[in-house]
Amino acid sequence: MPQLLIKYAIECWAVLCEAAPFMLFGFFIAGMLKALLPDTWMTRHLSGRGPLSVFKAALMGVPLPLCSCGVLPAALGLRRQGAGAGATTAFMISTPETGVDSLAVTYAMIDPLMTLLRPVAAFVTAIMAGLAANLLPERLLPASAAQAGQVAGGGCSCGGGCADSPATPARPGLGARVRCGLGDAFGDMLADVGGWLLVGVLVAAGISLFLPPDLFLGVLGGEFSSMLAMLLVGVPMYVCASSSTPIAASLILKGLSPGAALVFLLAGPATNATTLTVMARTFGTALTAVYLSSIVVCSLAFGFLANRVYMALGFDIHAVLGQVNEVLPAWIGTASALLLLALTLRALLAHRHNHDH
């Protein structure tokens, strides 16, 4: 037993070292987006029921690193400020399904092609769901959905002077906004997803070490059966876009097809039992049904498409898995892993301290 635990710890550390440099880079980019893109600008472009607002909402959500539960307060805030049902739905799908942090980890742990397919699939799924939501009559959207909730991130973890704070009469300079954005990225954002990323690392290491290498070559080896299995696992499971990536990479090493992996990467981060319950209470069952059915249908469709793309290009995902990270020196992975652990611990402690007060 002690020897097995040592092997597990070594595997966990290897997965973390592989993902950490790209995770840190992703949060840096997220902080810069926060600094340069005001929240008020987003709200101005998401009102109405037209297709343009849906397109904008889906596009805006792609780079943001929020999980399915973390995006709910933000979406409720947008809805309260006048965003249309379609735009809100599109934002709630594209945001958790992908982000600059998860794309960086996907590039490091899987391959460049999956890094491209993932945001495209999230973007198209969000648009389809948003357009379908706009077709719902207003009577199926409870009035409370327009008033419920508060805008997420009511304060900035940098300690004040945030560009979008209602108490701030004038927009601060670029330097102050960058400090605020990076403080928020490595503060509140990291507190939201950092713990779940570590959980994903633990699960990925367990999959690599304990599951048989031919797991998806037997009963789950069929194309549809493997996708359905990933869908049934991903829909109720709470997993963010970043933490789902090492899990998917480990499953691919066990023989999972790229299409089934993409199904898990899309359905897992965008849904969980808590999110669906809260959505049904705040946005109504009709909008929740559109949200869930769009994710299910589009995830399966893009799963089948991904397998065809890989076959058409003659691209073997199992042969190139994780090779991108080999170009980085080992010391960068080690240093990044230590830094990520320290920043995550700091963010979680600060978040707990603020919650206690």
- Lowest-pLDDT range of 149-153, 230-234, 308-312: 149-153
Determine contact, residues 68/275, Cβ cutoff 8 Å: yes
Q: What are the strands, taking DSSP E only, across the chain?
A: none
Q: Of 27 and 287, which is predicted with more confidence?
A: 287
- pLDDT, residue 238, reads 67
pLDDT at 291 over 60: yes
Mean pLDDT value of segment 352-356: 74
Structure tokens at 122: 């999230």
Give the Cα-Cα-Cα angle 166, 170, 175 (nearest 5 degrees).
Answer: 105
Residue 2: pLDDT band (50, 70, 90) is: confident
Residue 168: pLDDT band (50, 70, 90) is: very low
Determine contact, residues 52/11, Cβ cutoff 8 Å: no
Residue 234: pLDDT band (50, 70, 90) is: confident
- pLDDT, residue 244, reads 85
Determine contact, residues 27/65, Cβ cutoff 8 Å: yes
Residue 320: pLDDT band (50, 70, 90) is: low
The three-class DSSP label of residue 157 is coil
Find the distance separating the first CA and the last CA of the chain, reported in whole Å.
42
pLDDT at 92 over 70: yes
Output the average pLDDT for the chain.
78
Count the helix, strand and coil residues of the chain and give each as a percent rounded to the nearest 5: 75, 0, 25
Q: Among 65-79, 109-123, 177-191, which range has the highest average pLDDT?
A: 109-123
Distances from the Cα of 340 to the Cαs of 9, 70, 201, in angstroms?
Answer: 17, 20, 13
d(CA 231, CA 267): 6
Phi, psi values for residue 141, rounded to 5°: -110, 105
Mean pLDDT value of segment 227-252: 83
pLDDT tens, position by position, 43-82: 666 666 678 889 988 998 888 777 666 676 667 666 766 6
- pLDDT, residue 338, reads 94
Mean pLDDT value of segment 274-280: 75
Q: Which amino acid is at 154?
A: G
User: Using only C-alpha atoms, what is the Rg of the chain?
Assistant: 20
Domain range list for the chain: 2-356
- pLDDT, residue 147, reads 40
Residue 96: pLDDT band (50, 70, 90) is: confident
Residue 146: pLDDT band (50, 70, 90) is: very low
Residue 225: pLDDT band (50, 70, 90) is: confident
Mean pLDDT value of segment 249-275: 86
Residue 249: pLDDT band (50, 70, 90) is: confident
Residue 298: pLDDT band (50, 70, 90) is: very high
29 contacts: CB under 8 Å, gap ≥ 6? 63, 100, 101, 104
pLDDT at 169 over 80: no
- pLDDT, residue 218, reads 56
